Amino acid sequence: MIYDFHPVAKQELNNIVSYYDNINHDLGDTFLDEFERTVERIQQFPKAWSLLSANTRSCRMGRFPYSIIYQIQEEEKLLIIALMHWQLKPNYWDDRI
């Protein structure tokens, strides 16, 4: 299953990696590794995580306080809508769906 990003979600990923890189370069890489592992879990079991709306789901990342918000667009395609920090305003990404 392939995946793509909403343009703002791609920027969120870049901003998060930059933030962690500023703390420690290895931490940015660790975040990216955790992001990839989470996406792989979603790809294996795309309907396993909580529904937020009719076609939008949320999967929590393991080591970091983020969830990947995504939609199943076609049989074999995911669209990552947002990388949501658990402490930010909930549903700030609603206008992307």
pLDDT digits (tens, 9 = 90+) for 10-39: 999 999 999 999 999 899 999 999 999 999
The CATH number assigned to the domain holding 33 equals 3.30.2310.20
pLDDT of residue 75: 74
d(CA 71, CA 21): 28
Domains identified in the chain, total number: 1
Residue 92 lies inside a defined structural domain of this protein: no
pTM: 0.87
Residue 41 lies inside a defined structural domain of this protein: yes
| Residue 74 pLDDT class (50, 70, 90 cuts) | confident
Q: Burial, 60: exposed, middle or buried (Cβ in 10 Å; 0-12, 13-18, 19+)?
A: middle
pLDDT higher at 27 or 91: 27
Domain range holding 61?
2-87
Residue 96 lies inside a defined structural domain of this protein: no
Residue 59 lies inside a defined structural domain of this protein: yes
Percent of the chain with pLDDT over 90: 72
Residue 44 lies inside a defined structural domain of this protein: yes
